[in-house]
Structure 1
Amino acid sequence: MPVVFRYEGYRFFFFSNEGDPLEPCHIHLRKGEAIAKFWTTPEIKLAESYGLSSTELRKLHRVVNDNKALIEEKWHEYFKI
Structure 2
Amino acid sequence: MPTVLRKYGLRFHFYSGDRYEPPHIHVEGNGGEAKVWLTEVRVAEAGGFSQKDLARIVAVVEEHRQMMLEAWHDYFA
Distance 1:40 1:62 in 2: 12
Structure 1 residue aligned with 2:51: 54
Counterpart secondary structure, 2:62: helix
* Residue 61 (structure 2) pairs with residue 64 (structure 1): yes
Quick one: distance in 1 between partners of 2:60 and 2:2? 18
Shift of 1:32: 4.5
CA RMSD, aligned part only? 0.9
**CA offset at residue 33 of structure 1?**
3.1
Query: Whose helix proportion is higher, 1 or 2?
Result: 2
How many pairs does the alignment contain? 77
Residues of 2 paired with 1:74 and 1:24: CA distance?
A: 13
Structure 2 unmatched ranges of 5 or more: none
Gaps of 5+ in 1: none
In the superposition, the TM-score normalised over structure 2's length comes to 0.95
Give the aligned residue type for 1:2: P
